[in-house]
Amino acid sequence: MNVNNADIVDDCRFENQINQCLSIHGVAKNAKLGAIVLTCQNIPIYVEGVQSWENDVLNQPVAVTGVLRLQKLTPVSVVSLNGGHSAGVEGDIYILENPSFLTD
């Protein structure tokens, strides 16, 4: 991937950036579904193929370049007839495909 052809995104508006190569800047965090970059407006961007950040990167500023997608990675949470809730995520999530990494 040519990082020089990526758009650098710092303003946290992603609706018009889907399917484009971007550099996302934020803080490296771990979430239940995998490693994320937490953006300036607390928007989690999942990093494809990374289950968790190494300890020396975790909670540090990072920039990750990849193709931004909006996907459903888990089933939607449902409520059973007796009121029980299943595990799941409401809506789609952002994910960076084919990521390359830089530390800020």
Amino acid of residue 30:
N
What pLDDT does 1 receive?
Answer: 38
Does the pTM exceed 0.85? no
pLDDT, position 74: 64
* CA 61/CA 77 separation, integer angstroms: 32
Tens of pLDDT, residue by residue over 31-71, are 988 999 999 889 999 999 999 999 999 999 999 999 999 98
Q: 103 versus 79: which is more confidently predicted?
A: 79
What percent of the chain is modeled with pLDDT above 90?
54
The helix/strand/coil state of 5 is: helix
Contact 54, 66 (CB under 8 A): no
Contact 47, 30 (CB under 8 A): no
Please report the pLDDT score of residue 104 as a whole number.
56
